């Protein structure tokens, strides 16, 4: 008896296993019938026999539909293979710790303020602390070319305090006075030691030794040479008018020289210039000549100072760096990228380390924010406003057009345009407010120096050029620097040679010879300086420094600001609400308001993001609107103006704002995007399986198979259970493969695969229950398959709305929305992604934790709602099928659950 009882207990599961094995080896259905022979249970087909036969039928159907089964398994994998390929393009980005440069306010000074606006336009991030984070230090741009150039210029200007350089004209006067009475200086006195000029005359000019001696012993008029700028040309020897003034030479020797061809004369002149040292006669000691000793001492001091000056100048790399960047910017063409232009400007003004700051991919303006600013408006009216401004010059309009033509420069320009050309309105218009705003205006007046720079250069530039070309002082300096004796005494160790210095200071363009290609001369430096200053001057014409405008009251201010906003010429409005219209005294406690365009300041409808994600709030256009919008700049100048007005003190306290550093983190753009898209991908992945399940269930109803089996004694619950098991197995296979792909594809790199498999399996279970519910509304298989897939997808769409309105819906609304399984699954995916973004992933020990602070909803609730949905969908399926069984079924009354006969027979 005990053996028979044990056999009865283990036999039903064994029959189910035998049924599945027969399905695999394609045996005939009678095998299952034999396994459930009537002898075991007294002639009535038992539960396990019915379930085994139904599973065999369902499995056989699926196995015979090989293409359908293959699509059902491969289609979800295909979608996630696409995600894997996208993931390869967007791997997790390991961002080092971020240190941000401080932001100078206008009170810190005009130059730091302007530098800060330019250099912090993209709010760069650096690995190591910035100089401004160091205690008692605020500057961040000490490595910029402009800063180094200013320092070098200051060092050079310090030489002007040296009397030996300052009194070059005095030295020149002494030399000229010395030349009035000195005599007996011959041509050979000007030749360097070991000269080759006499040898050149003998071999190349074919002159005899007496003629050579006559030329070398000819007396020279030193004063005339000094007056002529130390230029002695061979052609002067052939000019009867100039000859007596320069040198005393016999006609015979002069005739021999002048009879030479022009090419030979040019060679003769070059040989003489290369062997000539005009300073040698002056530096040569002549006993008992006090005048010469005075000149020699003064020249010694001058040449020593010039040597130090040349060495100092040669050691300065800032000018060559600046010239290289300016040459690049002046030769910019359409091929040059905006990034290259910006980097060049950054090297000049900022000098950021690490190549301008690490790129934070999540702060990419093109991908994350400012789509409207990036793509611009399509309206012709808006284009007209952007591309032509009647309030400025043609140069500025052309500049604006170029800035608008490039996406990167367009974003920066539209952000900075209100600051550059915008108006600042204030009210009320009273003596007190005018006093305050006049102090504010001093900050903008400091920028007027750049406005006047062009005019000052137009006045000073020609004088500098004339001095370099025509002054006797420069002639004396050229001679001193060209002297080999002076160079050896005072300028040894300089990285410049005397030939390079002579070429650079050449008096006439034709004096510059071709040495290793092009030669950089003072004329090139002058022209580049001229272009740079005039470019800055033209650019400053685009900046409106007359920013302040008074209006009677706040209503007028709002009306005027709306008009200026249409022209993109409004910065802000300043309102002093407690100052009476006729007030003449400033109260000790001043209240004011700053009103700006809503897109230029932070929104105040929230104080922090609802969901935490890794990374600093460092996006310059979305997170730092108070900075780039100009709010903090105005706040600084207004408060400084109020303080100066109340105290009467002109002292300024420079203010810098410093963003807190942020530790290293893993930034994963793909994961953030996928957290919102995962429900959609899963909906699309299983939509074919949904259509297949619904079609199979409805087909049994349409072909009357269901009613036939029920007539033969089939239990309705066993039928639904067979469909559940036969549908669940492919879903579980798909969930397992998807979990494998999610893990190896680095889509969910931190989560435990077993937890992810459980999560997907639960969604598969509730999806099957949803399919059962949908199938009760149809009686035609093909229509049910088509409409069922559409209904399944439509039930996903409420999650999109919930995601869009997440800041406005509460806990109970989310619970109610989660009665749709796709919404509950979407919320679950969201929390899984939050765990991934935090670098811990979904684990068994974190399954019941909340990744978001002060959030009542959680992954546990989402999973519970999916389980609840499964029971609800099953309950609704049971009720609807009983009341509306279809064309061939027998309907029950709507109140049948309350009938005793239904439950107890």
Looking at residue 594, the DSSP 8-state letter turns out to be: E
Distances (CA, A) of 301 to 166, 229, 307, 490, 653: 11, 21, 10, 10, 45
pLDDT of residue 21: 40
pLDDT of residue 388: 60
Closest CA to 767 of 881, 865, 686, 877: 686
**Structurally, how many domains does the chain consist of?**
2
Residue 262 lies in a domain: yes
Give CA–CA dist 753/77, Å, rounded.
16
Structure tokens at 121: 């336009």
pLDDT of residue 382: 47
Strands 423-427 and 548-550, by their bridges, are parallel
Place of tokens 């290609």: 517
Q: Domain ends where: 292, 314, 336?
A: 314
* Number of helices followed by number of strands (H, E) in the chain: 44, 10
**Beta-ladder partners of 575:** 427, 593
pLDDT of residue 7: 40
Cβ–Cβ under 8 Å, residues 268 and 475: no
Residue 505 lies in a domain: yes
Closest CA to 402 of 339, 331, 326, 338: 338
Residue 98 lies in a domain: no
Q: Treating both helix axes as pointing N-terminal to C-terminal, what angle do 66-89 and 47-64 enclose, rounded to 10 degrees?
A: 70
CB atoms under 10 Å from CB of 848, counted, come to 10
Cβ–Cβ under 8 Å, residues 768 and 728: yes
H-helix segments, 137-220 = 145-157, 163-166, 168-181, 197-203, 209-216
- 3 state SS of 193: coil
Distances (CA, A) of 827 to 76, 85, 132, 353, 830: 21, 25, 44, 43, 5
Contacts (Cβ under 8 Å, ≥6 apart) of 417: 568
pLDDT of residue 370: 43
Range of the domain at 457: 448-479+486-514+522-542
Residue 247 lies in a domain: yes
pLDDT of residue 166: 52
Regions of the chain where pLDDT drops below 50: 1-44, 163-165, 181, 240, 285-288, 334-335, 358-386, 516-517
CB atoms under 10 Å from CB of 699, counted, come to 18
Rounded to two decimals, what is the model's pTM? 0.67
Give CA–CA dist 534/312, Å, rounded.
28
Give CA–CA dist 231/222, Å, rounded.
11
pLDDT of residue 514: 55
Cβ–Cβ under 8 Å, residues 271 and 257: no
Structure tokens at 802: 């919930």
Contacts (Cβ under 8 Å, ≥6 apart) of 561: 425, 570, 573, 595
Residue 435 lies in a domain: no
Residue 717 lies in a domain: no
Q: Treating both helix axes as pointing N-terminal to C-terminal, what angle do 448-470 and 522-540 enclose, rounded to 10 degrees?
A: 160
Q: Domain ends where: 299, 314, 329?
A: 314
Residue 866 lies in a domain: no
Give CA–CA dist 592/712, Å, rounded.
88
Give CA–CA dist 540/518, Å, rounded.
33
Residue 167 lies in a domain: yes
Give CA–CA dist 686/867, Å, rounded.
18
């Amino acid at each position: 008896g005990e053996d028979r009882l044990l056999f009865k207990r283990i036999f039903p599961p064994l029959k189910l296993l035998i049924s599945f094995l027969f399905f695999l080896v394609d045996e005939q259905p009678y095998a299952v019938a034999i396994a459930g022979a009537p002898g075991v249970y007294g002639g009535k087909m038992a539960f396990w026999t019915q379930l085994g036969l139904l599973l065999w039928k369902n499995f056989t159907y699926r196995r015979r539909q090989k293409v359908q089964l293959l699509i059902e398994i491969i289609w979800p994998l295909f979608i996630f293979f696409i995600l894997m390929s996208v993931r390869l393009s967007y791997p997790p980005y390991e961002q080092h710790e971020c240190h941000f440069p401080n932001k100078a306010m206008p009170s810190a000074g005009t130059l730091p303020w302007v530098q800060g606006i330019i250099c912090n336009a993209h709010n760069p991030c650096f690995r190591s602390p910035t100089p401004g984070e160091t205690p008692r230090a605020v500057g961040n741009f000490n490595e910029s070319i402009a800063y180094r150039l200013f320092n070098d210029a200051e060092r050079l200007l310090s030489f002007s305090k040296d009397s030996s350089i300052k009194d070059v004209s005095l030295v020149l006067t002494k030399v000229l006075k010395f030349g009035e009475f000195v005599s007996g200086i011959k041509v050979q006195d000007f030749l360097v030691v070991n000269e080759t000029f006499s040898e050149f005359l003998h071999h190349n000019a074919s002159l005899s030794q007496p003629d050579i001696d006559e030329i070398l012993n000819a007396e020279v008029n030193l004063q005339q040479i000094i007056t002529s700028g130390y230029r002695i040309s061979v052609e002067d020897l052939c000019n009867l008018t100039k000859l007596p003034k320069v040198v005393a030479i016999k006609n015979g020797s002069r005739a021999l020289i002048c009879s030479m061809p022009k090419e030979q004369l040019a060679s003769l002149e070059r040989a003489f210039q290369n062997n000539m040292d005009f300073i040698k006669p002056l530096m040569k000691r002549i006993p008992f000549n006090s005048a010469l000793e005075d000149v020699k001492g003064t020249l010694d001091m001058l040449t020593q100072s010039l040597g130090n000056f040349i060495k100092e100048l040669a050691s300065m790399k800032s000018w060559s760096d600046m010239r290289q960047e300016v040459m690049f910017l002046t030769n910019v063409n359409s091929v040059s990228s905006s990034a290259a232009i910006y980097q060049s400007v950054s090297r000049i003004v900022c000098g950021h380390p690490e190549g301008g700051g690490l790129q934070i991919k999540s702060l990419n303006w093109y991908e994350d924010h400012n789509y409207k600013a990036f793509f611009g408006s399509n309206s012709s009216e808006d284009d007209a406003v952007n591309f032509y401004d009647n309030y400025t010059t043609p140069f500025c309009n052309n500049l604006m057009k170029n800035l608008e033509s490039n996406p990167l420069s367009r974003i920066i320009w539209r952000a900075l345009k209100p600051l550059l050309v915008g108006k600042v309105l204030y009210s009320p218009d009273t003596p007190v407010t005018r006093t305050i705003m006049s102090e504010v205006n001093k900050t903008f007046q400091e920028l007027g120096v750049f406005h006047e720079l062009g005019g000052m250069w137009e006045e000073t530039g020609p004088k500098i050029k004339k001095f370099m070309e025509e002054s006797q002082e420069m002639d004396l300096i050229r001679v001193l620097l060209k002297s080999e004796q002076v160079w050896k005494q005072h300028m040894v160790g300089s990285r410049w040679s005397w030939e390079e210095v002579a070429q650079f200071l050449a008096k006439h363009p034709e004096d510059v010879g071709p040495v290793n290609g092009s030669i950089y001369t003072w004329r090139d430096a002058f022209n580049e300086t001229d272009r740079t200053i005039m470019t800055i001057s033209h650019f400053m014409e685009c900046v409106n420094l007359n920013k302040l405008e008074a209006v009677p009251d706040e209503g007028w201010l709002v009306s005027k600001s709306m008009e200026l906003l249409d022209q993109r010429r409004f910065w802000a409005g300043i309102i002093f609400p407690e100052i009476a219209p006729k007030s003449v005294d400033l109260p000790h406690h001043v209240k004011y308001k700053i009103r700006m365009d809503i897109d230029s300041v932070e929104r105040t409808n929230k104080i922090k993001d609802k969901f935490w994600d890794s990374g600093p709030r460092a996006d310059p256009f979305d997170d730092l609107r108070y900075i780039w919008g100009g709010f903090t700049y105005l706040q600084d100048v207004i408060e400084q103006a109020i303080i100066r007005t109340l105290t009467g003190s002109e002292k300024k306290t420079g203010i810098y704002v410093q963003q807190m550093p942020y530790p290293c983190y893993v930034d994963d753009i793909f994961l953030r995007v996928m957290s919102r898209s995962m429900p959609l991908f899963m909906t699309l992945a299983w939509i074919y399986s949904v259509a297949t399940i619904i079609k199979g269930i409805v087909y049994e109803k349409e072909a009357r198979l269901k009613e036939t089996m029920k007539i033969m004694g089939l239990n309705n619950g066993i039928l639904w259970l067979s469909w559940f098991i036969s549908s669940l197995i492919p879903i579980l296979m798909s969930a397992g493969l998807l979990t494998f792909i999610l893990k190896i594809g680095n889509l969910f790199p931190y989560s435990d695969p077993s937890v992810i498999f459980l999560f997907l399996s639960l969604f598969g279970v509730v999806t099957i229950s949803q399919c059962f519910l949908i199938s009760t509304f149809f009686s035609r298989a093909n229509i049910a398959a088509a409409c069922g897939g559409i209904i399944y997808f439509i039930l996903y769409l409420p999650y999109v709305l919930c995601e869009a309105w997440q800041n406005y819906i509460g806990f109970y609304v989310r619970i109610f929305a989660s009665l749709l399984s796709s919404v509950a699954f979407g919320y679950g995916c969201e929390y899984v992604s939050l765990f991934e973004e935090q670098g811990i992933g979904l684990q068994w020990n974190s399954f019941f934790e909340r990744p978001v602070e002060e959030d009542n909803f959680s992954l546990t609730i989402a999973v519970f709602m999916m389980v609840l949905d499964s029971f609800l969908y099953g309950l609704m399926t049971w009720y609807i099928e009983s009341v509306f069984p279809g064309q061939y079924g027998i309907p029950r009354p709507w109140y049948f659950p309350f009938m005793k006969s239904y439950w107890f027979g």
